[in-house]
Structures are given as C-alpha cells and as structure tokens.
Amino acid sequence: GQNIDQPTEMTATEGAIVQINCTYQTSGFNGLFWYQQHAGEAPTFLSYNVLDGLEEKGRFSSFLSRSKGYSYLLLKELQMKDSASYLCAVVDSNYQLIWGAGTKLIIKP
Amino acid sequence: ETGVTQTPRHLVMGMTNKKSLKCEQHLGHNAMYWYKQSAKKPLELMFVYSLEERVENNSVPSRFSPECPNSSHLFLHLHTLQPEDSALYLCASSQDLGQVTTEAFFGQGTRLTVV
C-alpha cells in the first residue's frame, strides 16, 4: 500500500529553527508538495520538489531525497504565525496525490 | 484569500436532513475537487471534476452526491448522513487535471457536524 509518514505534532520556540520530516512509500514518484494549513483555514501551497536537493524560499526550505523516500521542510527564524499544520503530499505514478496526516506545529514564545 | 470560496463555513445537520455545500472559483481553473478532512487523518479525495465532467469517484457512499454545473461552481449534496461523516469538507481547484504537479488552491472548507 501507499503510505506517507509525518510526526503528528511538534513544538518549537519563537526565533528558532524546526525541521518537519516526511517519509513516503508510494507506487512511483512524480513530485512532493508541502502545504501549510492554519486552524480553520484553507491549505496553502508552500513548495514542490521533484528533483533531489534543497530548495530555499525565504524562511522556508524544502529538501528531497528520492532514493531514501524522504523529504523535510525547514522553517527558520520561527514566528508565532508559523503555528499551523504542515501537510506533505506525494504525486504517485498514476499522478494521484497521496496525502500525509499533517504535522501540527506549535510555536512557543 | 485563495480564490476558492466555500459556503457555508459551518453546518450542523440531522441524519434525516438534506443540505448542499457550495464551492466557487474565479481562477479560470478547469479541474475541481472535493476532499474530506478528518482530525489527524490524511486528506481523502472524494470527487474530481475536469471541465464539468466527473472523472473520479473514490468509492464514496451514495449519500454524497456531487454536481458541477459549470467550471466555476461545484456542489456537494448531502442526505441521510451518519455521525461519522462529521468532518471538514474542502473544495480545491487546479489549472488542469493532467497537471497534478502544479499547486491546488483550496477553499477554507465547510465544518460539518452530523447530529
């Protein structure tokens, strides 16, 4: 079966750095998405990786290793507004999106 | 504001009621989706429409009935629901169905409670 694993919940301190991991076992791979979802709000697009390596976008970076079936989202200089759920999703060989359950990130002052 | 609007934001209904969820997008997208989001579970894809044609139905119970009258509007008609159907129902759109590698735009969802 297809599976996406992410930690259920993480806590970090304002101003610090946090890394949210995502591991996947899917039938094929055509890219990996990260979305951010604030409580009661719509998920919004953060990043898309299809090649190995690190892609940086401001305070957020996303890393992919296809050989390891692994990605992470790195958030730097954490702000209170970064408290949200972070969803990992993989595009499989049939171009279907397989979603993880999301990681709830709690930022403390 | 993502360009995808869902109404109502909250809905409480009895198991014998009939209600409808509405989704509207003005992004010029050709593909629209209904997802179910339950606490601590992955998003579940329910229905996919491309150019107003239903292209996927992921074994969703018949008490959920989608309707896509045009490329900008999507409805989810609900009847005789069960308490386990209580969840956040998200609508999303993307430019084209074949371009799954492009981002999807989500509405804020309808929080449904079945009593």
Asked if B101 lies within 8 A of A48 by C-beta distance, the reply is yes
pLDDT for res B51: 84
Chain B residues with at least one Cβ partner in A under 8 Å: 2, 4, 40-43, 45, 90, 98, 100-109, 111
pLDDT above 90 covers a percentage of chain B that reads: 73
Q: How far is CA A1 from CA A4, A8, B38, B59, B64, in A?
A: 10, 20, 20, 17, 26
**Which residue in B has a C-alpha nearest to residue A43's C-alpha?**
B106
Identify the residue whose tokens are 């049939």: A94
Range with the poorest average pLDDT among A81-85, A92-96, B9-13, B30-34: A92-96
**Which residues, at least 6 apart from B14, have a Cβ–Cβ distance to it below 8 Å?**
B114, B115
Ranges of residues in chain A with a pLDDT under 70 are none
Mean pLDDT of B89-96: 92
Of A43, A96, A101, Cβ closest to residue B42 = A101
**What local confidence, expressed as pLDDT, does residue B100 receive?**
66
Question: Looking at the predicted structure, is the pLDDT value of residue B47 above 70?
Answer: yes
B103: its two tokens? 């981002």
Phi, psi of A24 (to 5 degrees): -140, 150
* pLDDT recorded at residue A2: 85
